[in-house]
Structure 1
Amino acid sequence: MKLKTNYPVDLHCHTTGSDGADTPKELIDSAAELGMKVIAITDHDVLPPSKIEVAEQMVDPVVYAKNKGVKLLPGIEFSCETEIEDVHVVVLGCDYTDPKILEINQKIVDSKIDAYQKLVELLSEKGYPMTWEEVLNYNNISRKPEDVQKKLIFNLMAEKRYVDTWSDAKLLIRNDPQLSIKREKPGAIEIIKLAHETGGIAILAHPYLIDPVVKTQGETMSRDDFIKTLVNAGLDGIEAAYTYDKTTYKGELTKDEIIKKVALDYQDKVKIISGGSDYHADYKKTDKNIRSIGECGITWEYFQQNERLAKL
């Protein structure tokens, strides 16, 4: 089958398990139609699905994908660092039934519910009325409170025409101190350690979405120095090929310039130069800044030849 997208391996995709619009089955089906070799389900701060519904039966998503000619990697994109925005670590290949994973997952769930309910209340008070029930049922999907993602709130703001796009909503909230509610997040180093203890690998997602200068635990440091602390803690990989042109990135470099710079800067510092689209099936809600599966990623040859990726 001829590949219909840029890269045959996409290690950063989302589904309705968090804030994506495709079900896991729809994601797999679309990837197969595009001729993808490998995709990863990396929903935000939630366990990957162990079963998906296919023709009214519950089946193993990895087996379903394999039968479609696609290798599926279950993963999690962990939101890390309470004081620093956009520090996300993609974890792949873990034992997701391990008690350590389940324990940290529950802590994350508890922190999200409290913070996101408060945010909805504050938005309504500031002239952007919405209800918690609207968030729970966004896109006609009934969710439990523990399954709510912050991007659902951004999406709802755009749908209500309070802003033009979800990224505008993200920036509005981020830049307003009254709305920027900090939920308790695990440290990135803690997640790297957790990944290794449970048999997996840890990849820093979209490094250039992190501010050039960060403040944490009373210290101020450059983005590069912060990432260096993660590398020293055993970070396995870093995402180079990423859809910066379709996110909240406001720096001066182009997407292609960032891809080349990250690969060059970290090729000798980490074992994996990763890539992914951060696919959310946004096309179902908007025609602006649509990301497609495999728009960014890595080559099949690199996946096969990289020792750590090949073992997944």
Structure 2
Amino acid sequence: MNRYIDLHTHTTISDGTMTPRELIEYAAKKKLAAIAITDHDSIDGIWEAKQSGKKNHVEVISGIEFSTYYKHTEIHIIGLLIDEKDKRFIKGLHEIIEARDNRNKVMVDKLQAHGFNINLDDIFATADSKVYTRAHMARAMLNKGYVSSMKEAFDLYIGNDGPCYVSREKVNPQMAIQLIRSCGGVSILAHPTLYDMNLRELDALIKELKAIGLQGIEGEYALYTKSEERYIKELAKAHDLVLSGGSDFHGDNKPYIDLGVGKGNLKINYHLLERMREIKNH
């Protein structure tokens, strides 16, 4: 019998709307065999998720998602099967979190310069989270009536091309990949079709990341078209990268994406996780 998994999810620890416990309980209802917690720049939800996993008979994979910058493009690197208790990993993670916090302060300053009465406390009030992201900023803007939707906040102000956007140049893909590898994790390039790169640029990116330790690529993802999925899998084969797959579930923050199935057509087989463990062990 086929067993299905989801290796890309978010909880209230970053920018999801389900707590780690709620997410695992939902995974059990969806009859998923395994689920990875990949909160942005945080491992704080993993322990709670694993406790819930034991009760609900769902295998919980320790993971994380890093936002990094490559030639002024935001690139996401996922770490799976990490050792979240590794001291070197924790030290490096704290440095990355500090970079995110500093970026949030600068973005708030830009929002205020554009006439929005938004401060850090408004953002903190949107969620009981350990890591605050642009999604929390968008929620604060929505709560105050400055925008009609979170999408509008991104489209007009805080998206990558928005006037209030600030990149975190300090964090690059090599830092994230090395940090993931340092604690025995498997490094995965997340959703490469979202980076607004042509085929040549994407191929060059993957070659460069492979040279510094990238081990896998997200071959199954909620927003891929069939042709995009085929192309990404061809790239993975060409560059000898392991395949991963996930919905990028955020709960109500992305209501069009459901756990395990994405927009309804995802079926990520457990054998991807088994292959990933082989990569890790070697």
1:217 corresponds to which residue? none
List aligned pairs for 1:225-304, cutoff 5 A. 225-244=204-223, 255-282=225-252, 289-295=255-261, 296=266, 298-304=268-274
Contact kept? 2:69, 2:168, Cα under 8 Å: no
Q: Distance in 2 between matches of 1:151 and 1:66?
A: 30
Q: Distance in 2 between matches of 1:115 and 1:302?
A: 35
Q: Which amino acid aligns with 2:31?
A: G
Deviates more, 1:294-303 or 1:259-268: 294-303
What per-residue deviation string (whole Å, max 9, x for no partner) do you get for residues 136-156 of structure 1? 1104x3x56xx2222211233
1:148 corresponds to which residue? 132
Q: Distance in 1 between matches of 2:202 and 2:238?
A: 18
2:104 corresponds to which residue? 116
Distance 1:65 1:276, change over 3 A: same
Deviates more, 1:39-48 or 1:126-135: 126-135
Distance 1:268 1:175, change over 3 A: closer
Distance 1:259 1:164, change over 3 A: farther
2:41 corresponds to which residue? 45
What per-residue deviation string (whole Å, max 9, x for no partner) do you get for residues 13-69 of structure 1? 0001111110000000000001001101000011243533xxxxxxxx324303312
Secondary structure at the counterpart of residue 268 of structure 2 = coil
Is it true that 1:29 corresponds to 2:32 in the alignment? no
1:211 corresponds to which residue? 196
Q: Distance in 2 between matches of 1:40 and 1:138?
A: 24
Q: Distance in 2 between matches of 1:110 and 1:264?
A: 37
CA displacement at 1:100 relative to structure 2: 1.9
CA displacement at 1:240 relative to structure 2: 2.0
CA displacement at 1:161 relative to structure 2: 4.6
Q: Structure 1 residue aligned with 2:82, among 94, 100, 104?
A: 94
CA displacement at 1:297 relative to structure 2: 5.8
List aligned pairs for 1:58-69, cutoff 5 A. 61-69=49-57
Q: Distance in 1 between matches of 2:272 and 2:63?
A: 19
Question: TM-score scaled to structure 2, two decimals?
Answer: 0.86
Distance 1:306 1:92, change over 3 A: closer
Distance 1:193 1:110, change over 3 A: closer
Secondary structure at the counterpart of residue 40 of structure 1 = strand
1:13 corresponds to which residue? 9
Identity rate, percent: 29
Deviates more, 1:30-39 or 1:292-301: 292-301
Secondary structure at the counterpart of residue 96 of structure 1 = coil
CA displacement at 1:201 relative to structure 2: 0.6
Q: Distance in 2 between matches of 1:171 and 1:35?
A: 36
Q: Distance in 2 between matches of 1:137 and 1:303?
A: 37
1:157 corresponds to which residue? 141
Q: CA RMSD in A?
A: 2.7
What per-residue deviation string (whole Å, max 9, x for no partner) do you get for residues 93-124 of structure 1? 22222232122212122222222122123213
Contact kept? 1:82, 1:182, Cα under 8 Å: no
Contact kept? 2:242, 2:275, Cα under 8 Å: no
1:175 corresponds to which residue? 161
Contact kept? 1:46, 1:76, Cα under 8 Å: yes
Contact kept? 1:86, 1:209, Cα under 8 Å: no
Count of residue correspondences? 275
Contact kept? 1:48, 1:76, Cα under 8 Å: no
Q: Structure 2: state its 5+ residue gaps.
A: none
Distance 1:212 1:271, change over 3 A: closer
Q: Structure 2 residue aligned with 1:85, among 68, 73, 94?
A: 73
Q: Distance in 2 between matches of 1:95 and 1:306?
A: 15
1:251 corresponds to which residue? none
CA displacement at 1:159 relative to structure 2: 4.2
Q: Distance in 2 between matches of 1:259 and 1:128?
A: 40
Q: Which amino acid aligns with 1:156?
A: A
CA displacement at 1:164 relative to structure 2: 4.4
Q: Structure 1 residue aligned with 2:117, among 113, 124, 129?
A: 129
Distance 1:301 1:101, change over 3 A: closer
Distance 1:230 1:82, change over 3 A: closer
Secondary structure at the counterpart of residue 122 of structure 2 = helix
